Structure 1
């Protein structure tokens, strides 16, 4: 059998179910990745769907993916085109029998999948859920029964679910390698100018599977920072207040399972405490938002969210310009928004405050804030982004419907104003 592995947000060689299955079941395996022009287009709000920060990170990731696949004698063909334009041609050219890919379910991604399937009705599509810690086949719920409250979901899954082992692949025969004249696009090709990373960035790292593992090794074994993670995770300054794994998790250059099993190794060899557990806790939150997205579908993109609460939210362009440029009445909001604009990253504490300010203080349409985050964030993940925005806007999974006291938050988390001085 001849197979294509269509890489989406699973841009890694290790612990990649689609790649492992394709290698196990095929005598010929070809990797494909498409830089989809739609991802770099201007949105209806006037900014790009993907800005320069995540674009650069993606380019670096695909460069590393190509290199790592080559060590396994697998060629990665890379295109700047829509997948539905490219994959049917490759199927015909290489007489492909099967296409393996990560299962996606949000509407834009599903539409692309269906566009390809409609052209290739005789080709076998094998899609795998490969972005979870708790696999959908293992959780104690049907998708439509996922609890409304995170704590119930977490406790039941922790009690009943065993984390699956990682998947590995063997080196393929040298005959699997093909002549590859495709090129990975540059920033310029994708419509951006070259840029320097800000010296104040709390995420000065590069994209790619090797870089993710390097960061993990540093955060766990070199510094033991994981042993104080819960105490520092609400920080604002520097590279080490949190794990910073989220950008690599978002594009799948590392899996949640890999982090989990490395953490278990750390807990055995070094120490296990509340701080090390808290990283698992956060990985479960990430899972939960994916399950909420699976359960509710396009409701996560609607104004009244998954609760159906009717809010009179509006959109004021002047207010939006003030918010994104850091020109509001709240210095703490301004500092965080300027950090995002200049680095493509923002702390979790910052994200909650600026989202609460936009949706609750100014009562603006939260979806525009979410779309701006989608554009700017290096670690944009559709499920976590929209899940968190619904949560902060009061239309998601927070039964308390909180509104942040931003001045008080600034006093607690930036009492000496050091973070604000950096960016204002």
Structure 2
């Protein structure tokens, strides 16, 4: 029987998943798998967990939900643990699969694993076929080649909006042919060398992983509360669940696709009318695309101290005391402290907060920006390799910012975006 492996990674969904749909179309039966890559649960060179407990918990919930949804269609998820370059060939051999379908990667570490697996599978006479499933616009549909993508977002956006089209979404499959797949055996946080950390009750939102939760959030934000209609006016607020869409964690894990959100924005506009807010959510999805395409263009450069810049102002390598103070929220800036405590206690921080604490790290503390980016990687539930490292390079003046050295006046920002001090009162100890 013609069997294929569908290797799920950060595309943990059934709806608008081209990888899954193409695998079903080209095979008699499929075996969905997820591999817990042991390298994702180690310490980074800066001493942080590469995947912290908040994100790991969200990941486990997302995988459980994917398995639940697959079983409703007659399939299920096989869980692998170890190195994908060892475990994927093993599962291919076990099921005598002739093809592996997977999401296409763009970042350095993920791309290396993908290449290694491709070479190993080739020797087994098994093909690895990858699909781009993370962006709103498909790379092949852009009005420029990857090498010629403009480095300035506004130029990229205007040309793309004018000359490129967004592809139609893929409906979820109605049934899936699979061999009998045993009940799922998920690792615990302890198995992943992590300890459970409860999200603080003051959190802007209590994230729960999975495609079902992603669709619930979309339905609530668009149709139940209609908060989408005022998104542009409220997106820079800092307290509560509804000042922004909060889709980022589900997008990062691939529980929902940008195109699904886009198609629902269009439906909302038909029902309630288009305005600056409905456009602005699509505008933010374009930012995600831009960073992902920048990674395709520059590959490893976003992980270098100099980024994609020609020159970079000197900074201190690492100041342990200043780093600890920044992480713990005990710096001289109350606004920075409130944001950093929110991140530490919840795994989330507003977009406005992220820009300010990154600017403070780079400009006031003058430390190697990559240390800050690595801490965010560990701590954020919504960590996305391209958005995280792309945004940090941007704030450090070595990325895509045409102004090159963007400096935030933190006290002014606090007055502008936390006028009454509501956010600071929420997160800082009472004096």
Q: TM-score, normalised by structure 2?
A: 0.96
Aligned ranges 1:236-247 → 2 under 5 Å: 236-247=238-249
Residue matched to 1:374: 377
Change (3 A) 1:362 1:114: same
Q: How many residues align?
A: 423
Contact 2:377/2:383 (<8 A) preserved: yes
Establish whether residue 417 from structure 1 lines up as the match of residue 421 from structure 2.
Answer: yes
Change (3 A) 1:88 1:229: same
Aligned to 1:59: 60
1:405 partnered with 2:406: no
Which sits farther off after the overlay, 240-249 or 118-127? 118-127
Cα deviation digits, residues 292-334 of structure 1 (max 9, x gap): 1111110011111111223212211111111101111111001
Q: Distance in 2 between matches of 1:123 and 1:80?
A: 21
| From 153, 156, 159, the counterpart of 1:156 | 159
| C-alpha distance in structure 2 between counterparts of 1:283 and 1:240, whole Å | 18
Q: Is the 8 A contact 2:291 2:390 kept in 1?
A: yes
Counterpart Cα distance in 1 of 2:198 and 2:392: 29
Q: How does 1:102-117 map to 2 (within 5 A)?
A: 102-117=103-118
Deviation at 1:181, TM superposition (A): 4.8
Q: How do 1:355-374 and structure 2 match up within 5 A? A: 355-374=358-377
Q: Secondary structure at the match of 1:364?
A: coil
**Is the contact between residue 71 and residue 171 of structure 1 (CA under 8 Å) also seen in structure 2?**
no
8 Å Cα contact 1:79-1:184 kept in structure 2:
no
**1:63-110 deviations in whole A, cap 9, x for unaligned?**
001111112222210123221221111111111000000100211111
Report the Cα distance in structure 2 between the residues aligned to 1:308 and 1:57, rounded to whole angstroms: 38
The structure 2 residue matched to 1:335, chosen from 321, 338, 362, is 338
Structure 1 residue ranges without an equivalent (≥5): none
Asked whether 1:297 is paired with 2:293, we answer no
Determine the C-alpha separation between the residues in 1 that align with 2:164 and 2:182: 42
Q: 2:220 aligns with which of 218, 235, 239?
A: 218
Q: Deviations over 1:33-73 (max 9, x none)?
A: 01112111111211211111000000000000111111222
Between the aligned partners of 1:218 and 1:396, the Cα distance in structure 2 is 35
SS in 2 for 1:412: helix
Q: Deviations over 1:8-42 (max 9, x none)?
A: 11111110011010001100111010111211111
Deviations for 1:117-142, whole angstroms, at most 9, x for unmatched residues?
A: 23221211111111110101111010
2:271 to 269, 276, 282: 269
396-405 or 338-347, which moves further after superposition? 396-405
Per the TM alignment, residue 169 of structure 1 is displaced from its structure 2 partner at its CA by 4.2
8 Å contact 2:312–2:397 — kept in the other structure? no
Residues 248 and 254, structure 1, Cα contact 8 Å, conserved in 2? yes
Question: Post-superposition shift, 1:188?
Answer: 2.3
Distance 1:349 1:362 in 2: 19
CA distance in 2 between partners of 1:205 and 1:364 (Å): 31
Q: In structure 1, what is the Cα distance between the partners aligned to 2:221 and 2:241? A: 10
Question: For 2:4, what is the secondary structure of its paired residue?
Answer: strand
Report the equivalent of 1:284: 286
- 1:182 is displaced (CA, Å) by 4.6
Q: Is the 1:325–1:337 Cα contact (8 Å) retained in structure 2?
A: yes
Residues 329-378 of structure 1 show CA distances to partners (whole Å, capped at 9, x for unaligned) of: 11100110011000000000000000000011221100000000000000
Q: Provide closer, same or farther for how the CA distance between residues 179 and 402 of structure 1 changes in structure 2, counting only shifts above 3 A.
A: closer
Look up the SS of the partner of 1:196 in the other structure: coil
Indicate if the aligned counterparts of 1:79 and 1:183 stay in contact, CA closer than 8 A. no
- 2:209–2:250 contact (8 Å) kept in structure 1: yes
The CA deviation at 1:392 is: 0.5
Q: Secondary structure at the match of 2:114?
A: helix
Deviations 1:226-270 (A, max 9, x none): 000000000110100100000000011100000000110000012
SS in 1 for 2:267: helix
Single out whichever of 215-224 and 40-49 deviates more from structure 2: 40-49
Whether the 8 Å contact between 1:53 and 1:378 is mirrored in structure 2 is yes
Give the RMSD, CA atoms, in angstroms: 1.2
> 3-state DSSP class of the match of 1:247?
helix
Q: Distance in 1 between matches of 2:241 and 2:294?
A: 30
- Partner Cα separation in structure 1 for residue 260 and residue 176 of structure 2: 26
Residue 385 of structure 1 corresponds to: 388
